[in-house]
Chains A and B, each alone.
Chain A
Amino acid sequence: MTSLEVAGLTKSFGGVTAVDDVTFAITPGHVHSIIGPNGAGKTTLFNLVAGLYVPTSGRVVLAGQDVTDLPPWRRAAQGLGRTFQNLQIFFNMSAIENVMAGRHLRARTGFLGSLFALPSAWADNREARDHAAALMARVGLGAYIDADADAMPYGALKRLEIARALAADPTLLMLDEPAAGLNPTETHEIDRLIQSIAADGITVVLVEHDMKLVMGISDHIIVLDHGRLLAQGTPAEVARDPAVIAAYLGGDPA
């Protein structure tokens, strides 16, 4: 069973077709990358899979379930997690509370139960906090456990968002430009983090511009250009593909 399948996915905004009849399948347990020049439709595709945009036509299938008509919060329950190109950190909460918020689907206590301090609420809090602390240590943010989100540097926040997404125990994790704005050292750390996430059996799909990162880490690459699927395959296959070279790899710096 595939982790993710998109079939004939199309999205038009007014006169602009951002994603044009894209079809591919993501097999579980590997690192997949989606690349393409700026404006190729990568983030739009991400938003379609996540449910933030409604497709003009086409279907999105997650682990065998057709989720095309489901809102994003329902897709999260199907195991989909995601980070954002422009940080969407909860700056009104502390770092650990951000990650604890990611544990939302695990909470057993509802609204009313929380109001009246049922014992299960206390247990939920305990579990969320312990899990969050462990995740933060895992992504290398152990030093920031007591920090406020708005006091953290950019590179740390990128990793915080990943920790938060991981807190939901996703089976498919989509990372939208996880290395954007990071220096080579930080990029290397993200590289290792992604590999360790994949090693845990989580399917990772990334959108990235950093070619060195992409070529080094991916098992499978999908290339988009002008909203259309241009090519897909292993890094070696894609690097050799003349259409890809013509459209993209030609002069693009890593």
Chain B
Amino acid sequence: MSDLLQFVFSGLTVGAIYALVGIGFALIYNASHVINFAQGEFVMIGGMATVALIDMGIPMLPAALVAIAIAALVGVALEKLAIEPARNAGVVTLIIITIGASILVRGVVEVILGKQFHRLPSFSGDQPILVGGATLHPQSLWIVGALIVLVIGLKTFFDRHPFGKAILATAHNRLAAQLVGIEVKTVLVASFAMSAAFGAIGGILTAPLTLTQYDVGVMLGVKGFCAAILGGLGSPFGAVLGGLIVGLAEALAAGYISSAYKDVVAFVLILLVLFFMPSGLFGTKGTERV
């Protein structure tokens, strides 16, 4: 029983990170109908930039904030330099562009910061907490707590703030949003920035536990995509649920089946969702008009 609890704890912890990446996918998809294959790199930038800044002598909290800002800037740059010029290009073109951008970002970080793994200090120490026979690392509480705060914040933003509503409107119907005076370009830029910020926060939160390195973005990106489609591509909150499910599935599979194949779980899930349930749990189905 305590084994199961252990797996649940680790599953929810890693699932929360996937959720943050997945929210990012959903936000960008809603604003631009682009699936951003570079999403995972924002997580990587969060962790790596914080490490680099701390190495330069900057204390943890300001370093983290600056790292988040850097990630947001990269997100905006991605939108302006790579997505916008290809606005009307075909889907395949856009996919290749975001893949290219992700490789480019990864390459830059590799050159500047090298190939090694780096670690961030845990936010409140490494003393494990005993809960029901299982151990819980305090960082997990930070991660899940941050997810809850961010989700509540996002919901409030969408429900109450006029710009939040503008983002929702653009997601539903871009043309109509433009016609009522919503500055769609701003929505686009803001969505990329927010999406990057969310990812970066995830990267900073998880670096104490899972370490960070120039290459961590790929796997995280794909698993975050799994979270997003499981939840239904247009739904940031669905992505949260999707992320937790993916995290739990991974942890349970690693615990009960084989830890060597832990990574395969997410990829098999992607195939299953795409084959049998492409609109996910909360997404909307559409039909093509000819």
Chain A residues with CB under 8 Å of chain B are 13, 43, 47, 52, 84-86, 88
Contacts and interface: CB of A to CB of B under 8 A. Distances in A.
Interface of B: 287, 290
B287 A84 contact: no
B283 to A, nearest CB: 15
A52 B288 CA distance: 10
Nearest to A13: B287
A47 B287 CA distance: 13
Contacts of A85: 290
A86 B287 contact: no
A47 B290 CA distance: 8
A84 B290 CA distance: 8
Classify the secondary structure of A's interface with B: loop
A54 B290 CA distance: 14
B287 A52 contact: no
Contacts of A47: 290
A13 B287 CA distance: 9
A88 B287 CA distance: 17
8 contacts: A13-B287, A43-B290, A47-B290, A52-B290, A84-B290, A85-B290, A86-B290, A88-B290
Contacts of A13: 287
Contacts of A88: 290
A43 B289 CA distance: 10
Contacts of B290: 43, 47, 52, 84-86, 88
A44 to B, nearest CB: 10
The 8 closest A-B pairs by CB, nearest first: A52-B290, A47-B290, A84-B290, A13-B287, A86-B290, A88-B290, A43-B290, A85-B290
Contacts of B287: 13
A86 B287 CA distance: 16
Nearest to B285: A14
Contacts of A84: 290
Contacts of A86: 290
Given A43-B290, A84-B290, A85-B290, 5 more contacts: A13-B287, A47-B290, A52-B290, A86-B290, A88-B290
A146 to B, nearest CB: 26
A84 B288 CA distance: 14
B182 to A, nearest CB: 27
A84 B287 CA distance: 17
Nearest to B288: A52
A85 B290 CA distance: 8
Nearest to A86: B290
A224 B241 CA distance: 46
A208 to B, nearest CB: 17
